[in-house]
Structure 1
């Protein structure tokens, strides 16, 4: 029997993984990898950190852990894969099982036969039809050459003002990179918040931190026009009429699946414009598979198709596709819970599963808890974490988790992602056996503590209220009794200044004369993180007050202005 011919189109993340995996599983297979760009296996998620000077060796983005660049010679020698770069595939002939391509250097055309084909064509950056978008100085960040150009501008030091269009993952990471280089940076986001995978109040913590680094943030706004002179960018005019001077604008408003080849070949395309695949990563043609940013996959909670362009998923999908191309239908890919994380200066922000907003949109009856607490003991250099857990009120199943802070966010999200994927409930997490030692976590891990708070709410022991709701009600002229139960020193150092009354927790039992006479009056208690706020609620309820709420997360989760040093 002749060797199986496997062709892989696309050489960024999914393509090289599929090619190498297929060759490992079938040592006799003829594996050909076709890549339009001049580079292979680029660590594209590392582009912002290269631009920002976290490392200087460009080839680090293309190299193995031992420093060997993954070029065609490497793939031939180490992987047994025939990799061709600067080769654009122009058509797929499904009937004859061939792909046609062109060498972008020589113009020479060629045809390659396949028994099995996998599409790993990735995604393209969104490029809206905004006047002036073709001006010199307007760019995106999707290819190695984009990273090279931006790093060159950073190194030259000639750009003084930059605008980031879009406040998503890449936009925020590029914002940090350019700010670190000394540029004056503005971020323009047409929605009401940055990082839309977070709920609004969590995203506002991120926005507050970004602004503290000298970045100007424009939310609820968009770009109306890129302004220029002599073909060069000079500024950006926003929807509200504001003009922001700049010599550089990085458009980062998301990506769309690069599915043109699949569409032209008559393969099924989904509602997001991505290639339709089944659980085996197989397309509507049984001899063609697809993986990475060009496909749509299942969401593990909703069961709906989603577009999830993440580098880790691309590699996982490609591994499953390669297994099935070589071994038959041996593996399945169950889908995603949309786990994501990013670095925001000295803060981290991430989420897994459904946000509260998305869960409600999907028809879930939702209950949430916000927890502000430390990632490890104070004597081990504790750092703050603010988290939000989202659960199904009827079953207790954890639907999502968000975390923001300078602490060990990644650990919390990893724990949460496994809980969400496994369908764990709040009660399951309440007694989870997680590793503990003071250098790494608290004795009761932050993630478990968040579940404890939510359990208290679900059992009726704690009545919580979100900080955004408190602020909205105060802005509307409502006058609940705001009770701050911190110590006087804490109060003087940092306060909300919303008419709160200070009664330290230790004095609360003997301070009934300072509280509302009406036992049905609404009292909202808080402290630094609201553990003492919860204790205050229990004390007051035991003494007859019937309408006591805890402002979840306390002052550390308050995303609005705080008065300091009073």
Structure 2
């Protein structure tokens, strides 16, 4: 007597869904697997949309093809994967008791009922749209689908738009900003909060803002869009909350996404406090026969232990793999949680982060934290090393690493990846100060940037160094604090670039012979720095051992200073 094969139905064909279906097929050659989604394309590399729009590559099929160049269409899934893939097909509702899904083929309007033994929801997310009049004007759009990418690429190729606005100062917003600017379009980014890239602390965020402005785009913070202005149905400008009107023919809304949970809610599945489908570490919903993965679910933070949303393509693939394995062999795969790691390219800078920023750590209840900011090269100067500026966040008492941010033209990715694994492994600063990482001049300094970051943090935690962020130094100077600011660079460096904050120049090599030029009140605050503050730290050590008791180092040096410099 033959046994009916298991039927696995997957709703959603972007990232998590196809990964889940493919994994389930590898686990069970004989299962009946049906995948469907509303859109025309399957398994789109949506993170590549801005680069297609910007002209990094011209063949749109590269966004939907395998590494071998085969387009992942229904025929591919049927022949290569043994998976029935349906496109332009919408799920209307789920009957959990009957274990059926009601479908509608959009071009024809035909409806059908599909039975499942196991169901996977990979319904993704929807773009958040501002509640502003005029959102339906021609020229206002998002960048969420292949259709959006095609429309923006057509705008780029037509060369008929000369002014554009990007609404939202996050990762996608600035990737779109770069794409439009490289197309010769005068672009302004509008961010409603006071800071761009909210996963960064303000001092690093300001450095990135300066870099973006240097490449042409304008940035407006602390202001939102009150209205999209139109003429004969076409966008002609935007009106900001403060009444300012900006002319433009294109507005790209990139203010984030929210989980697409309509089906799950209608089916009575548990929804979490963060607005996503609640799943366990097997990606199982409150119904044991229904799994969910990707942008529609909530994840567990490995730093705080709390539920969070993390709509990233890599996580969607990881979660889809776990769900696909468990629908065949329950409990055989686990997704423990995330460190919330991200990275993006913005002109010549890379911006990366993992774990918590200092401001986020405080908001999450970590009251006793320490930070360490450093500047330095990714590889030696004789190998044409490039600048990195990073900020490490750790608990004071335990030394546990909580977060890491890194920006600059150097190899940010390697350093963020290293720290992401340190956070995942619950490593401490002490674990990282002697980390055995790969070294050769083409790839790293003898002491990698991450190791130096940990060593600076260790110096602070053990009281060998007192540090100030550039923002703290700026605030002291602006408020007329009684501090003595000492630049320890060479005269040539001083003439080429100075901060203009009343600093005194005494090069490190001359310091021991010029101690009498320093404040003789040994309790007066002295702030030292150099280009990256290595010489500043060495000078601080000298002064401390000569009796000065209130010596501080401006962390990261001039390279981390985001404010206007004086020549």
Using the size of structure 2 for normalisation, the TM-score is 0.99
Q: Partner of 1:516 in structure 2? A: 519
Residue 492 of structure 2 is aligned to residue 489 of structure 1? yes
Q: CA deviation at 1:328?
A: 1.2
Q: Partner of 1:31 in structure 2? A: 33
Q: Partner of 2:194 in structure 1? A: 192
Secondary structure, aligned partner of 1:111: strand
Which residue of 21, 36, 51 corresponds with 1:49? 51
Residue 6 of structure 2 is aligned to residue 19 of structure 1? no
Deviations 1:487-517 (A, max 9, x none): 1111111111111111110011111232112
Secondary structure, aligned partner of 1:211: helix
Contact 2:130 2:225 in 1 (8 A): no
Which residue of 58, 82, 85 corresponds with 1:83? 85
For 1:104 and 1:318, the matched residues in 2 are separated by 26
Q: CA deviation at 1:84?
A: 0.3
**Unmatched 5+ stretches in structure 1:** none
Deviations 1:271-297 (A, max 9, x none): 122111011100000000000000001
Which residue of 239, 254, 257 corresponds with 1:255? 257
Alignment of 1:275-290 (within 5 A): 275-290=277-292
Q: CA deviation at 1:89?
A: 0.7
Q: CA deviation at 1:477?
A: 2.4
Q: CA deviation at 1:119?
A: 0.1
For 2:142 and 2:286, the matched residues in 1 are separated by 32
Residue 378 of structure 2 is aligned to residue 378 of structure 1? no
Q: Partner of 1:145 in structure 2? A: 147
For 2:27 and 2:338, the matched residues in 1 are separated by 25
Q: CA deviation at 1:169?
A: 0.6
For 1:517 and 1:356, the matched residues in 2 are separated by 35
Alignment of 1:429-508 (within 5 A): 429-508=432-511
Which residue of 182, 185, 193 corresponds with 1:183? 185
Q: Partner of 1:296 in structure 2? A: 298
Q: Partner of 1:351 in structure 2? A: 353
Q: CA deviation at 1:35?
A: 1.0
RMSD: 0.8
Deviations 1:412-460 (A, max 9, x none): 0000000000000000001111111100000110000000000000010
Q: Partner of 2:274 in structure 1? A: 272
**Unmatched 5+ stretches in structure 2:** none
Which residue of 522, 536, 544 corresponds with 1:541? 544
For 2:317 and 2:89, the matched residues in 1 are separated by 22
For 1:448 and 1:561, the matched residues in 2 are separated by 30
Residue 449 of structure 2 is aligned to residue 420 of structure 1? no
Using the size of structure 1 for normalisation, the TM-score is 0.99
For 1:380 and 1:181, the matched residues in 2 are separated by 32
Q: Partner of 2:108 in structure 1? A: 106
For 2:138 and 2:273, the matched residues in 1 are separated by 34
For 1:525 and 1:213, the matched residues in 2 are separated by 31
Q: Partner of 1:392 in structure 2? A: 395
Secondary structure, aligned partner of 1:438: coil
Q: CA deviation at 1:255?
A: 0.2
Q: CA deviation at 1:223?
A: 1.1
For 2:438 and 2:449, the matched residues in 1 are separated by 12
Q: CA deviation at 1:116?
A: 0.1
Residue 238 of structure 2 is aligned to residue 201 of structure 1? no
Q: Partner of 1:559 in structure 2? A: 562
Q: Partner of 2:233 in structure 1? A: 231
Q: Partner of 1:71 in structure 2? A: 73
Residue 337 of structure 2 is aligned to residue 332 of structure 1? no
Q: Partner of 2:63 in structure 1? A: 61
For 2:476 and 2:242, the matched residues in 1 are separated by 27
Residue 222 of structure 2 is aligned to residue 211 of structure 1? no
Deviations 1:86-145 (A, max 9, x none): 101111111111111111111111111100000000000001211211111111110000
Secondary structure, aligned partner of 2:328: helix
For 1:473 and 1:245, the matched residues in 2 are separated by 40
For 2:223 and 2:497, the matched residues in 1 are separated by 31
Q: CA deviation at 1:479?
A: 3.9
Deviations 1:461-488 (A, max 9, x none): 0000000111122222224111100011
Contact 2:482 2:524 in 1 (8 A): no
Q: Partner of 1:170 in structure 2? A: 172
For 1:473 and 1:284, the matched residues in 2 are separated by 54
For 1:292 and 1:331, the matched residues in 2 are separated by 16
Secondary structure, aligned partner of 2:63: helix
Q: Partner of 2:312 in structure 1? A: 310
Deviations 1:41-97 (A, max 9, x none): 000000000000000110000000111000000001111100000101111111111
Deviates more, 1:293-302 or 1:236-245: 236-245
Q: CA deviation at 1:193?
A: 1.2
Which residue of 357, 361, 364 corresponds with 1:362? 364
Secondary structure, aligned partner of 1:198: coil
Secondary structure, aligned partner of 1:509: helix
For 2:84 and 2:263, the matched residues in 1 are separated by 21
